[in-house]
Structure 1
Amino acid sequence: MLGRGAAAGGALALGPLLAGEAVAAGNSGSGTGEREKHGTRGRTSGYEDIGVRPLINGRGTYTVLSGSLMLPEVRDAIDRAARAYVQLDELADAVGRRLGELTKSGFGMVSSGCSAALGHAAAACVAGGNPDFHIQIPDLTGFGKTEAIIPKHSRNVYEAAISLVGLKVVEVETREELKAALGPQTALVYIFAMPRVEESELDTRTIVRLAHDAGVPVLVDAAAEILTVPNVHLGLGADLVAYSGGKALRGPQSAGILLGREDLVRAAWVHSAPHHGFARGFKVGKEEAMAMLAAVEMWSQRDHRAEYARWTSWLKSIARRVSSVDGVTTKIVQPEGLSNRTPTLTVLWNGEKLGVSGRTIVDTLYEGEPRIAINAASGEGPAQTGVSITPYMLEPGDARTIADAVVQLLKDPPPPPEKPKPPAVDVGGTWAVTISYAASTSTAHRLVLSQKGAALTGSHGGEFVTRAASGSVSGTQVTVRSHYGEEHGDSLNYTFTGTVDGDRMSGRLDMGEYLKATWTAVRKS
């Protein structure tokens, strides 16, 4: 199963999920020459002119990799929509009715991404389209509904869209906890769609039954999933479901859709731009609205089985090519799930025997030419390493390019990273840390470290939370990592690297999605 940031394929192998006849797969996407005209191999994209390198995407529809490529029909809809003026409320009404017809889901709304759809949906459940309430959001003082219930299995970084409107998150893990938490103060129950939801005591049907008994609507976040018609989540009883526009649907990356109960979807539109208040910043232009409608129109025509067969054939061709290297094994995984699936190829080998790790190959390909993005993988044994490839975002010819590049690096690996040196310093103790961010400085962080040989353990505290830390010392160089996971609804990843000089150390800080900073630290006596 792929996460929200990854691709969700259009596989229909377990039965028809769409109504009506499908057109040939070749009509649904870019043709053989599409990349040469608009993609990573040509220079017509304009990215190179400003120093940005396009890439071949073998990872999936990650937002940071700019999602998916829009279908030709979607690009055409944007161009046509940009040539005339309309009244946006009238457009939203017409598009909403047509989305409801196409998806058999009541009513629809185009938003500026799935996250925005979740926020508008939450506002609809809180304020119901009432402008007197709307202009007070996110200050819910005096509101009757002030809480959102999220099962523990659905806590994730994207729930920030729910908190955005001022709702307090209440976490539950059992049926009894859910029953106790539901009340007149509950605005909604939020579910992050994934296989483990249906494996939980709090599966969707159970959540829906208990929530509806209390008069509370249920919202499903299905950002990365395929769009099922009739909708699988609404079919399980959910009231609302939100999708990303720039993933499986291959619409604009800056758009999403909200589907479901007409009264709530219409209220969600009231709580979105162009209307004022908290949601003014989540503006959807006429171009995105018509482009998303085109993407959903095309979804009902695309030959999803043919698309899936094509992706699998690309993975098979890569597998045949890389298997020519002694010691390499491959496996194509066809995951099961309600509506979040895509084939994935895992390529494994013994890193000690071949002299290269999967991570090294991933990093080398990403910095190479052409630039190729794939994922690292690992096997069961400690020396088992490898890569994984998702075909959903590949274009014709990319499979061969990836296979050739991986084989070349397996046969002629880049130089291995420098081996760690024996530690020349002891960094045990408590360190007061100063971090210089892009436009601010923090003196609130601290590292509490214990050193045993080259290994470090301890904690990293900051303004928000204290989390476990670990790392190592090589000579006078130090590396310390800390992580605060999605199970809390947030995600923070810090990697401190630097040089130790007595009771002082300093260097670079990698914060993952929050980019980089510099840091200094002084050991407390």
Structure 2
Amino acid sequence: MLGRGAAVGGALTLGPLLGGEAVAAPNGGTPARAAGKGPKGGYEAIGVRPLINGRGTFTVLSGSLMLPEVREAIDRAARQYVQLDELADAIGKRLAQLTKAGFGMVSSGASAALGHASAACVAGGNPDLHVQLPDLTGFQKTEAIIPKHSRNVYEAAISATGLKIVEVETRAQLKAALRPQTALVYIFAMPRVDESELDTRTIAQIAHAAGVPVLVDAAAEILTIPNVHLQRGADLVAYSGGKCLRGPQSAGILLGREDLVRAAWVHSAPHHGWARGFKVGKEEAMGMLAAVEMWVQRDHKAEYATWTSWLKDIARRVSVVRGVTTKIVQPEGLSNRTPTLTVLWNAQNLGVTGQTIVDTLWDGEPRIAINAARSSDPAQSGVSITPYMLEPGNAKTIAVELVKLLRDPPPAPEPPKPPTVDASGTWALEIKYTAGTSTAHELKLSQDGAKITGTHKGEFVSRPATGSVSGSEVTVRSYYGEEHGDALSFTFTGTLKGNRISGDLNMGEYLGASWTATRKS
């Protein structure tokens, strides 16, 4: 999933808001500037490298680029004062007109929209209840139901309101879980929802019979008008503003039943209490409205045609390398609405893997972000490229750099060495995070040749661990999956000397750390 997905929308007019060579933009948009070219300014002036984004609307890659009309709306809004409750009311009515929903609200991202919506289902816009959140002592509504297929990292926005999560998997379980204390049912929009016996229509019918509203998280989806989720029976639906809509990255929208959306605004900043930190300024609010205004005007078919033409150009250019095959796949469904180009080759014949290409492009100049590709053939390796976030000229740059690396591959990683150490045993860990230290972790490992299996005990849970040994270098990986409503990955790498291992820890989005392990007697 592309950072909650990349969805349909134009990437036709804007470049990074940095110094660089101007590139003509179609449709009269602001000229883009090529990443990595021209005099340094903006991000580069403080030592941050801009990039060409062929990966998608990942939040960590700063989402999408705002439309020119959005930037203009933000600039106009920044020049005058308004009363924010009056602004929210006017924007809510206009969003309702544009989207054909009951009412609308701008939030500080889709996750914040989920939190405000949950608070609305708990406290109903009652200020006396609002100021007590997230302490639900004495509240009637204290639980949120989430089908197993919808458990994910973003549900933290719901439990942050104080709600207890109740997981269900069947119709019977859903009916049994619906009680007077049920505040809402949450659905994470994705293809497997519609394939489940607990699809949106079924959930809505059962929940509504018990008087319980349904909230859909459609952050990565295209904005359908009329709204497909509301038509299927949902009461509320949340979208990201900084993905397909190309509004402010720090904004989102909540659409649906007017009483619940208005209550969600009560449970939002500028009002004090639980949600004061989720502030939306007048600038983001008007920028988000401008993005929705543009959504109904944009020529989405023309945007798709442009994206596909860029992928065809890359495919044509890389096909000059013998042994390379390409395939363009058009999207299905509402999420991740972007065509994708897969470039495959025999890794042994060309002497390079897709992951090595991805890593080299990320470290190169210009900096390019693409994905490694998967293949059913283990001999095949490759990369995949999504054009949604590309700018004019980027496709040629990516193709040129790919051809260079395929014809003159970077050095391959050293092959594993026979193990010279035994990592078996129980290990007490000290982890030094970017901020903070923990001594609560423990590894219990067994080694068979170069293969490691075992368990990794963390602060609260244990999880399976796997790994390998190369010479005296030890690698151990564990993962805490989204079925629990959160996700943590650990990759420990270190050198074993005697009864001590020390090295680096990669935790993905939680940055790097160092670790030391001591073998227990």
Same fold (TM over 0.5): yes
Q: Paired residue for 1:176, among 159, 172, 176?
A: 172
| 1:281 aligned counterpart, secondary structure | coil
2:128 corresponds to 1:132: yes
2:32 corresponds to 1:34: yes
Q: Paired residue for 2:143, among 144, 147, 156?
A: 147
Deviation at 1:35, TM superposition (A): 2.1
CA distance in 2, matches of 1:455, 1:489: 30
2:75 corresponds to 1:76: no
CA distance in 1, matches of 2:5, 2:362: 17
1:394 paired residue number: 390
Partner amino acid, structure 2, of 1:367: D
2:272 corresponds to 1:276: yes
| 2:33 aligned counterpart, secondary structure | helix
1:8 paired residue number: 7
CA distance in 2, matches of 1:182, 1:470: 40
| Contact 1:227-1:339 within 8 A present in 2 as well | no
| 2:310 aligned counterpart, secondary structure | helix
Give CA deviations for 1:265-316 in whole Å, capped at 9, x if unaligned: 0000000001111101100000000000100000010000100111111111
Partner amino acid, structure 1, of 2:440: A
Give CA deviations for 1:211-248 in whole Å, capped at 9, x if unaligned: 11111101110101111111111111110000001000
Deviation at 1:139, TM superposition (A): 0.8
Alignment of 1:336-485 (within 5 A): 336-338=332-334, 340-485=336-481
CA distance in 2, matches of 1:154, 1:43: 47
CA distance in 1, matches of 2:350, 2:159: 49
Deviation at 1:495, TM superposition (A): 0.7
Partner amino acid, structure 1, of 2:362: Y
CA distance in 1, matches of 2:212, 2:272: 27
2:102 corresponds to 1:103: no
2:231 corresponds to 1:235: yes
Deviation at 1:6, TM superposition (A): 2.8
Give CA deviations for 1:81-128 in whole Å, capped at 9, x if unaligned: 000111111111011111111111111100000000000000000000
CA distance in 2, matches of 1:72, 1:496: 44
- Percent identical pairs in the alignment equals 78
CA distance in 1, matches of 2:336, 2:417: 45
| Contact 2:315-2:326 within 8 A present in 1 as well | yes
CA distance in 1, matches of 2:288, 2:473: 51
| Contact 1:506-1:520 within 8 A present in 2 as well | yes
2:503 corresponds to 1:507: yes
Deviation at 1:335, TM superposition (A): 2.3
| 1:444 aligned counterpart, secondary structure | coil
Partner amino acid, structure 1, of 2:371: N
Deviation at 1:159, TM superposition (A): 0.5
| 1:387 aligned counterpart, secondary structure | strand
CA distance in 1, matches of 2:253, 2:38: 32
| 1:247 aligned counterpart, secondary structure | coil
Give CA deviations for 1:145-177 in whole Å, capped at 9, x if unaligned: 111111111110000000110101111111111
CA distance in 2, matches of 1:41, 1:255: 30
CA distance in 2, matches of 1:506, 1:373: 31
1:324 paired residue number: 320
| Contact 1:160-1:489 within 8 A present in 2 as well | yes
1:166 paired residue number: 162
CA distance in 2, matches of 1:464, 1:357: 37
Divergent runs of 4+, >6 A: none
Partner amino acid, structure 1, of 2:374: S
CA distance in 1, matches of 2:327, 2:292: 33
| Contact 2:220-2:335 within 8 A present in 1 as well | no
Structure 2 unmatched runs, 5+: 11-24
CA distance in 2, matches of 1:199, 1:454: 41
Alignment of 1:246-285 (within 5 A): 246-285=242-281
| 2:239 aligned counterpart, secondary structure | strand
2:50 paired residue number: 54
RMSD: 1.4
| Contact 2:222-2:334 within 8 A present in 1 as well | no
Give TM-score scaled by structure 1 length.
0.94
Give CA deviations for 1:466-508 in whole Å, capped at 9, x if unaligned: 1111111111111111111112211001111111111111111
| 1:224 aligned counterpart, secondary structure | coil
1:22 paired residue number: none
Would the alpha carbon gap of residues 120 and 236 (structure 1) be closer, same or farther in structure 2, given more than 3 Å must change? same
CA distance in 2, matches of 1:442, 1:426: 25
Would the alpha carbon gap of residues 4 and 361 (structure 1) be closer, same or farther in structure 2, given more than 3 Å must change? closer
Deviation at 1:195, TM superposition (A): 0.8
1:116 paired residue number: 112
Partner amino acid, structure 2, of 1:6: G
Task: State how many pairs are aligned.
Answer: 507
CA distance in 2, matches of 1:366, 1:457: 32
Deviation at 1:43, TM superposition (A): 4.3
Deviation at 1:5, TM superposition (A): 2.9
Partner amino acid, structure 2, of 1:216: V
| 2:439 aligned counterpart, secondary structure | strand
2:241 corresponds to 1:245: yes
| Contact 1:6-1:59 within 8 A present in 2 as well | no
Deviation at 1:419, TM superposition (A): 1.6
| 2:373 aligned counterpart, secondary structure | strand
